[in-house]
Amino acid sequence: MPQQLTTPDHASNSDIVFHIRGLTKRYQMGEVQVDALRGIDLDLYRGEFTVLLGASGSGKSTLLNILGGLDTPTLGNVGYGNHDLTHASEAELTEYRRHHVGFVFQFYNLIPSLTALENIAVVTEIAKSPMKPREALELVGLGNRVDHFPAQLSGGEQQRVAIARAIAKQPQVLLCDEPTGALDSKTGIVVLEALQRVNRELGTTTAVITHNAGIAQMADRVIHLTDGLISQAYTNESPISPDQLSW
Protein backbone atom coordinates (compact mmCIF):
# COMPACT_ATOMS: atom_id res chain seq x y z
CA MET A 1 0.00 0.00 0.00
CA PRO A 2 2.55 2.66 -0.82
CA GLN A 3 -0.28 4.99 -1.75
CA GLN A 4 -1.49 5.07 1.80
CA LEU A 5 1.97 5.28 3.23
CA THR A 6 2.76 8.45 1.34
CA THR A 7 -0.40 10.35 2.16
CA PRO A 8 -0.48 11.97 5.58
CA ASP A 9 -3.96 11.87 7.04
CA HIS A 10 -4.07 15.52 8.18
CA ALA A 11 -3.77 17.04 4.71
CA SER A 12 -6.55 17.85 2.30
CA ASN A 13 -6.37 17.49 -1.48
CA SER A 14 -6.39 21.24 -2.15
CA ASP A 15 -3.06 21.55 -0.39
CA ILE A 16 -1.24 19.23 -2.74
CA VAL A 17 1.67 21.01 -4.40
CA PHE A 18 3.35 18.08 -6.14
CA HIS A 19 1.27 15.22 -7.38
CA ILE A 20 3.47 12.36 -8.55
CA ARG A 21 2.21 9.13 -10.13
CA GLY A 22 4.13 6.24 -11.62
CA LEU A 23 7.27 8.33 -12.02
CA THR A 24 9.93 6.38 -13.87
CA LYS A 25 13.32 7.55 -15.09
CA ARG A 26 15.49 5.38 -17.22
CA TYR A 27 18.94 6.36 -18.39
CA GLN A 28 20.26 4.77 -21.49
CA MET A 29 24.01 4.46 -21.51
CA GLY A 30 25.05 2.73 -24.64
CA GLU A 31 24.06 -0.90 -24.14
CA VAL A 32 23.29 -0.49 -20.46
CA GLN A 33 20.02 0.78 -19.05
CA VAL A 34 19.92 2.35 -15.62
CA ASP A 35 16.53 2.63 -13.92
CA ALA A 36 17.05 5.57 -11.59
CA LEU A 37 13.35 5.79 -10.63
CA ARG A 38 10.99 2.86 -11.03
CA GLY A 39 7.42 4.07 -10.55
CA ILE A 40 7.14 6.54 -7.72
CA ASP A 41 3.77 7.68 -6.34
CA LEU A 42 4.00 10.65 -4.02
CA ASP A 43 2.17 13.81 -3.02
CA LEU A 44 3.90 16.78 -1.43
CA TYR A 45 1.85 19.36 0.44
CA ARG A 46 1.93 23.10 0.75
CA GLY A 47 4.33 24.31 3.39
CA GLU A 48 5.57 20.84 4.08
CA PHE A 49 9.22 20.24 4.99
CA THR A 50 10.19 16.87 3.53
CA VAL A 51 13.44 15.05 3.98
CA LEU A 52 14.57 12.50 1.38
CA LEU A 53 16.88 9.75 2.57
CA GLY A 54 18.45 6.87 0.73
CA ALA A 55 21.66 5.20 -0.26
CA SER A 56 23.94 6.65 -2.87
CA GLY A 57 22.55 5.95 -6.31
CA SER A 58 19.02 5.33 -5.01
CA GLY A 59 17.56 8.09 -7.21
CA LYS A 60 17.18 11.02 -4.82
CA SER A 61 18.80 13.62 -7.06
CA THR A 62 16.93 12.31 -10.04
CA LEU A 63 13.60 12.76 -8.27
CA LEU A 64 14.47 16.25 -7.08
CA ASN A 65 15.69 17.28 -10.54
CA ILE A 66 12.42 16.21 -12.07
CA LEU A 67 10.46 18.10 -9.42
CA GLY A 68 12.53 21.19 -10.16
CA GLY A 69 11.83 20.99 -13.88
CA LEU A 70 15.48 20.28 -14.62
CA ASP A 71 14.82 16.90 -16.13
CA THR A 72 11.93 15.04 -17.67
CA PRO A 73 10.55 11.67 -16.62
CA THR A 74 10.63 8.66 -18.89
CA LEU A 75 7.17 7.54 -17.76
CA GLY A 76 4.55 8.73 -15.28
CA ASN A 77 3.15 12.08 -14.31
CA VAL A 78 4.26 14.98 -12.20
CA GLY A 79 1.77 17.74 -11.42
CA TYR A 80 2.59 21.03 -9.79
CA GLY A 81 -0.62 22.66 -8.55
CA ASN A 82 -2.77 22.62 -11.67
CA HIS A 83 0.24 22.43 -13.95
CA ASP A 84 1.39 19.27 -15.59
CA LEU A 85 5.17 19.31 -15.49
CA THR A 86 5.46 16.15 -17.58
CA HIS A 87 3.96 17.72 -20.63
CA ALA A 88 5.04 21.29 -20.02
CA SER A 89 6.67 23.12 -22.88
CA GLU A 90 10.20 24.37 -22.68
CA ALA A 91 8.93 27.93 -22.10
CA GLU A 92 6.53 26.83 -19.37
CA LEU A 93 9.29 24.95 -17.57
CA THR A 94 11.48 28.02 -17.78
CA GLU A 95 8.74 30.17 -16.25
CA TYR A 96 8.21 27.54 -13.58
CA ARG A 97 11.89 27.48 -12.62
CA ARG A 98 12.16 31.23 -12.81
CA HIS A 99 9.26 32.12 -10.56
CA HIS A 100 8.50 29.11 -8.39
CA VAL A 101 11.59 27.08 -7.59
CA GLY A 102 14.69 27.68 -5.56
CA PHE A 103 17.30 25.01 -6.08
CA VAL A 104 20.44 24.04 -4.21
CA PHE A 105 22.51 21.79 -6.44
CA GLN A 106 24.50 18.87 -5.12
CA PHE A 107 27.60 20.31 -6.80
CA TYR A 108 26.76 23.97 -5.93
CA ASN A 109 27.24 25.13 -9.54
CA LEU A 110 28.27 28.67 -8.78
CA ILE A 111 29.28 30.85 -11.71
CA PRO A 112 33.06 31.16 -11.41
CA SER A 113 33.29 34.61 -12.95
CA LEU A 114 30.87 36.17 -10.46
CA THR A 115 31.44 37.05 -6.80
CA ALA A 116 29.34 35.54 -4.04
CA LEU A 117 27.02 38.54 -4.06
CA GLU A 118 26.73 38.60 -7.84
CA ASN A 119 26.01 34.89 -7.94
CA ILE A 120 22.90 35.69 -5.93
CA ALA A 121 22.08 38.84 -7.90
CA VAL A 122 22.05 36.87 -11.11
CA VAL A 123 18.99 35.06 -9.77
CA THR A 124 17.28 37.86 -7.84
CA GLU A 125 17.44 40.12 -10.87
CA ILE A 126 14.92 37.96 -12.67
CA ALA A 127 12.76 37.06 -9.65
CA LYS A 128 9.44 38.68 -8.74
CA SER A 129 9.88 39.54 -5.05
CA PRO A 130 13.40 38.63 -3.99
CA MET A 131 15.34 39.53 -0.85
CA LYS A 132 18.37 41.74 -1.09
CA PRO A 133 21.33 39.50 -2.13
CA ARG A 134 23.37 40.75 0.81
CA GLU A 135 20.57 39.88 3.23
CA ALA A 136 20.50 36.35 1.87
CA LEU A 137 24.27 36.04 2.35
CA GLU A 138 23.98 37.28 5.93
CA LEU A 139 21.30 34.71 6.55
CA VAL A 140 23.83 31.96 5.85
CA GLY A 141 26.58 33.71 7.83
CA LEU A 142 28.58 34.97 4.86
CA GLY A 143 28.11 38.73 5.26
CA ASN A 144 31.91 39.04 5.21
CA ARG A 145 32.48 37.17 1.98
CA VAL A 146 30.36 39.16 -0.47
CA ASP A 147 33.19 40.05 -2.86
CA HIS A 148 34.88 36.66 -2.97
CA PHE A 149 34.87 34.64 -6.15
CA PRO A 150 33.90 30.97 -5.88
CA ALA A 151 37.50 29.90 -6.27
CA GLN A 152 38.33 32.00 -3.22
CA LEU A 153 35.72 30.30 -1.04
CA SER A 154 35.94 27.03 0.83
CA GLY A 155 33.69 24.18 -0.21
CA GLY A 156 31.30 24.81 2.66
CA GLU A 157 31.21 28.53 1.90
CA GLN A 158 30.38 27.80 -1.69
CA GLN A 159 27.58 25.57 -0.53
CA ARG A 160 26.21 28.34 1.65
CA VAL A 161 26.31 30.78 -1.24
CA ALA A 162 24.32 28.23 -3.22
CA ILE A 163 21.75 28.06 -0.42
CA ALA A 164 21.56 31.83 -0.12
CA ARG A 165 21.02 31.95 -3.84
CA ALA A 166 18.14 29.49 -3.58
CA ILE A 167 16.32 31.22 -0.76
CA ALA A 168 17.01 34.76 -1.96
CA LYS A 169 14.23 34.70 -4.48
CA GLN A 170 11.74 33.62 -1.80
CA PRO A 171 10.37 30.78 -3.90
CA GLN A 172 7.24 28.74 -3.36
CA VAL A 173 9.25 25.56 -3.66
CA LEU A 174 12.72 25.00 -2.28
CA LEU A 175 14.61 21.92 -3.42
CA CYS A 176 17.94 21.22 -1.78
CA ASP A 177 20.31 18.45 -2.79
CA GLU A 178 22.52 17.73 0.23
CA PRO A 179 22.66 21.33 1.41
CA THR A 180 24.78 20.53 4.44
CA GLY A 181 26.98 17.80 3.05
CA ALA A 182 30.13 19.88 3.30
CA LEU A 183 29.32 21.69 6.52
CA ASP A 184 30.32 21.24 10.16
CA SER A 185 27.50 20.87 12.67
CA LYS A 186 27.53 24.51 13.77
CA THR A 187 27.30 25.97 10.26
CA GLY A 188 25.00 23.17 9.25
CA ILE A 189 22.58 24.24 11.92
CA VAL A 190 22.78 27.88 10.83
CA VAL A 191 21.91 26.80 7.31
CA LEU A 192 19.08 24.53 8.37
CA GLU A 193 17.65 27.29 10.52
CA ALA A 194 17.63 29.53 7.51
CA LEU A 195 15.83 26.89 5.51
CA GLN A 196 13.31 26.31 8.25
CA ARG A 197 12.69 30.05 8.60
CA VAL A 198 11.90 30.37 4.93
CA ASN A 199 9.69 27.31 5.19
CA ARG A 200 7.80 28.59 8.22
CA GLU A 201 7.58 32.28 7.42
CA LEU A 202 6.81 32.04 3.72
CA GLY A 203 5.12 28.67 3.73
CA THR A 204 7.63 27.43 1.20
CA THR A 205 7.23 23.79 0.30
CA THR A 206 10.68 22.36 1.00
CA ALA A 207 12.33 19.09 0.05
CA VAL A 208 15.82 18.32 1.33
CA ILE A 209 18.05 15.42 0.35
CA THR A 210 20.48 14.37 3.00
CA HIS A 211 22.67 11.50 4.06
CA ASN A 212 22.39 12.70 7.65
CA ALA A 213 19.49 10.78 9.14
CA GLY A 214 19.47 13.13 12.13
CA ILE A 215 18.09 15.91 10.01
CA ALA A 216 14.94 13.85 9.54
CA GLN A 217 13.95 14.94 13.04
CA MET A 218 13.18 18.47 11.87
CA ALA A 219 11.06 17.28 8.93
CA ASP A 220 7.31 17.14 8.66
CA ARG A 221 7.66 14.03 6.60
CA VAL A 222 10.49 11.60 5.84
CA ILE A 223 10.79 9.55 2.69
CA HIS A 224 13.23 6.73 2.09
CA LEU A 225 14.26 5.77 -1.40
CA THR A 226 15.76 2.41 -2.24
CA ASP A 227 16.74 1.47 -5.75
CA GLY A 228 14.40 3.96 -7.36
CA LEU A 229 11.39 3.11 -5.21
CA ILE A 230 9.92 4.54 -2.03
CA SER A 231 10.70 1.95 0.61
CA GLN A 232 9.46 3.85 3.61
CA ALA A 233 7.60 7.07 4.31
CA TYR A 234 6.28 8.52 7.51
CA THR A 235 4.95 11.71 9.01
CA ASN A 236 6.83 13.30 11.85
CA GLU A 237 4.22 14.51 14.32
CA SER A 238 6.59 16.73 16.30
CA PRO A 239 9.39 18.23 14.26
CA ILE A 240 12.14 19.76 16.36
CA SER A 241 14.13 22.91 15.66
CA PRO A 242 17.58 22.55 14.06
CA ASP A 243 19.54 23.60 17.15
CA GLN A 244 18.20 20.59 18.95
CA LEU A 245 19.35 18.15 16.28
CA SER A 246 21.77 15.44 17.14
CA TRP A 247 24.25 15.88 14.25
Partner 1 sequence: MKAMDKKLWREFQGMRMQALAIAMVIGSGVAIFIMSLSALDSLYETRERYYRNHHFSHIFASLKRAPLALVTHIEAIPGIDKIETRVVSYVTLDIGGFDEPVSAHLLSLPSHGAGLLNQLYLRQGRLAEPGRDNEIVVNEKFAQAHGLRSGDQLAATINGRRKTLTIVGLALSPEYIYQIAPGALFPDYKRYGVLWMSRKPLASAYNMDGGFNMVTVTLRKDSNQQDVIDHLDNILEPYGGIGAIAREDQLSHRFLAAELEQLKTMATVFPVIFFAVAAFLLNVVISRLINLQREQIAVLKAFGYSSIEVAIHYSKLVLMIVSVGVLGGIGAGVWMGKGLSNLYTEFFSFPFMIFVLKPQVIIAATVMSVGVAIFGTLYSVHRAVKLPPAQGMRPEQPVLYHRTLVERLRLQRWFSQPTRMIMRHIERRPIKSLLTVIGISLASAIIMMSGFQKGAIDYMIDVQYGISQKEDMIAIYTEPTSARALYSLRSIPGVEYVEGFRIVPVKLRFEHRSYRTTINGIPPQSKLMRLLDTELNVVEVPPQGLVLTEYLAERLKVKPGEMIEVEILEGKRSVIQVPLIGTAKQYLGSNAYMRLSALNRALKEGNATSGARLKVDKQSQQQIYAALKEIPRIAGVVEQRSSIRMFYDTMAKNILFFTGITTLLGAVIAFGVVYNSMRIALSERSRELASLRVLGFRNSEITYILLGEFALLTLMAIPLGWLLGYGLSAYMAFQIDTDLYRVPLILNQDVYAFSALVVIMSAIISSLMIWRNLIQLDMVAVLKTRE
Q: Which of 6, 50, 58, 61 binds Mg ion (CB under 5 A)?
A: 61
Closer by beta carbon to ligand ATP, 62 or else 124: 62
Does 30 engage in binding with partner 1 (CB under 8 A)? Answer: yes
In angstroms, what is the minimal distance from the CB of 91 to partner 1? 7
Does 32 engage in binding with ligand ATP (CB under 6 A)? Answer: no
Closer by beta carbon to Mg ion, 54 or else 133: 54
CA torsion, ordered 82, 85, 87, 90, to nearest 10 deg: 120
| Cα(131)–Cα(15) distance, integer angstroms | 26
Closer by beta carbon to partner 1, 5 or else 114: 114
Does 96 engage in binding with partner 1 (CB under 8 A)? Answer: yes
Q: With contacts defined by CB under 6 A, name the span among 58-66, 126-134, 137-145, 233-241 that binds ligand ATP.
A: 58-66
Starting at the earlier edge strand, list the strands of the sheet with 101-104: 101-104, 173-177, 205-209, 49-54, 221-226, 229-235
- With b for 16 or more beta-carbon neighbours within 10 A and e for fewer, the 199-208 pattern comes to beeeebbbbb
Does 180 engage in binding with Mg ion (CB under 5 A)? Answer: no
Q: Which of 42, 78, 123, 142 binds partner 1 (CB under 8 A)?
A: 123
Binding site for Mg ion (CB under 5 A): 61, 106
